[in-house]
Structure 1
């Protein structure tokens, strides 16, 4: 007796290509590439600065004017390529226009003579920041140094716009980063090797800001990673609040610190008691 197999024969898979499947995949890939290109182009157009048309020409003219000023006032000490001159002046490569503004507007440069520290004095008339011509010349000189040496850039804002909205936070940051040299109220103090931390009363907001950026003399540099621009502005707000005659009352004893009056009263009182005791002893 024979048994018939009930197993159905295995069907071979249909290996014929499906044209609509390939077309769909290709269209999907094309759409993905197109979307990526559109997103990339949009992001580039969004973050790309304005086209440097007239600005580039204006900057070129500003740099050329700055070079003339540099050749007339700075080249003797700092060299024709900002490389510096031995025993005359350091290299200006990497100092940026922030250092140019601070040093020149405060009269520290050009140096009157070689000494332990450059002191503040009246700036040259052509670089006086209080005049329109002086400000324009400072911008031109800074543009030349910035274009050829790079470095920190001076802030775009000026004056009261550089004062932050939180002087209390500025006071905390000042006590943490600055008071050890400049004293609690910014009156300055002596350092080693004939150097000193200057008083913060004369400097303008721009000069304080550019000093924090560039770290003149023994002062450390406070870039935007160490102190954000807003934190710098809060420090400036605090400094101006304590250097513009804002005394809460009483004799400020030169503004040497928050406990100065108490220390003076203690010393004077103790000396008076000791003197009176000695007088009584001598009389007896």
Structure 2
């Protein structure tokens, strides 16, 4: 006991105890602290960009340039953002099979993981719209009635008032929106692919885009009621006018002819 008391009174005793306490605290923190998430995220992003560069070199560089600068066969990709890549590649429009007035939708040849890698690499060319989250494009809780007003004002001139699509000039067309994934509809509004104007969040907020998506999903539903009767393809006044002239007016002419024939026969009798 005398020896232990003497050690406690030693001038370096407090320093030794403090050193042991700091070492124990540091060891516990190193063992129990969570891994640095930011560093892990940066590493995953760098790996995605590296893999995306390999995919880009094989499938995209011949038209868009080795650094996305564009060329005679493809536009520049600088600043288009990840959303444009996710839309174009995710709908099979890219890589394009051949140039033309408009690139049409085709079966997708990349997996979603590869599309994400391509999007990450193209996004590294310059800032642009990011791929939207499910909360942004989900029509759940959105106002489909308001979305219908917005769609008829901004979109129906090309896509038809229920999204059936329509013809444009020089061999181009507005595609049908029937069965299109809500994420791709949102990305199309964000990025303005091909002939479509873009509607960034500064022009059309996220909730407004969700309202439009809710309207398109409502009219796309098989259970959607049609108070006007037969839809006649829902392609607008051309089919409706043709039906009126051929069947409506044709029926009236047939009735008038029948009445005239009966009247003439009665007079002869």
Tell me which residue corresponds to 2:17: none
Over the aligned positions, Cα root-mean-square deviation in angstroms equals 2.5
Structure-2 change in CA distance of 1:162 and 1:276 (3 Å): closer
Instruction: Report the Cα distance in structure 2 between the residues aligned to 1:111 and 1:81, rounded to whole angstroms.
Output: 18
Tell me if the contact between 1:162 and 1:206 (Cα under 8 Å) persists in the aligned partners: no
Q: Give the corresponding residue for 1:272.
A: 251
Q: Which moved more, 1:148-157 or 1:109-118?
A: 148-157
Find 1:68's aligned residue among 40, 44, 54.
54
263 and 247 in structure 1: CA distance in 2 versus 1, 3 angstrom threshold: farther
Cα offsets for 1:248-275 (capped at 9, x unmatched) = 1543211225x78975664322221124
| Residues 260, 246 of structure 1: alpha-carbon distance in 2 compared, 3 angstrom cutoff | farther
**Corresponding residue number in structure 2 for 1:95:** 80
Residue in structure 2 matched with residue 231 of structure 1 by the alignment:
208
User: How many equivalent residue pairs?
Assistant: 225
- Native 8 Å contact 1:188 1:198 kept in 2: yes
Q: CA deviation at 1:89?
A: 1.0
* CA-CA distance at 1:199 after TM superposition: 0.2
- Whether the 8 Å CA contact 2:136–2:210 is kept in 1: the answer is no
In 1, Cα distance between equivalents of 2:259 and 2:49: 78
User: Does the CA-based 8 Å contact 2:77-2:125 persist in structure 1?
Assistant: no
Instruction: From the CA coordinates, give the structure whose radius of gyration is larger.
Output: 1
Structure 1 segment 7-26 matched on structure 2, within 5 A: none
- Distance (whole Å) between structure 2 residues aligned to residue 150 and residue 160 of structure 1: 21
Verify the 8 A CA contact 2:218 2:224 in the aligned structure 1. no
CA contact (8 A) 1:212 1:223 kept: yes
Counterparts of residues 49-64 of structure 1 (less than 5 Å): 52-64=38-50
The TM-score, its normalising length taken from structure 2, stands at 0.76
Post-superposition shift, 1:110?
1.3
Q: Is the counterpart of residue 174 in structure 1 residue 148 in structure 2?
A: no
Tell whether 2:171 aligns with 1:194: yes
Structure 1 residues not aligned, in runs of 5+:
1-49, 128-133
Map 1:75-224 to 2 at 5 A.
75-86=61-72, 88-124=73-109, 127=110, 134-157=111-134, 161-224=138-201
Asked if 2 retains the 8 angstrom alpha-carbon contact of 1:158 and 1:205, the reply is no
1:255 equivalent in alignment to 2:234: yes
8 Å contact 1:83–1:92 — kept in the other structure?
yes
TM-score, normalising length: structure 1: 0.72
Instruction: After TM superposition, give the deviation of residue 53 of structure 1 in Å.
Output: 1.8
Q: Which runs of 5+ in 2 are unaligned?
A: 1-35, 265-269
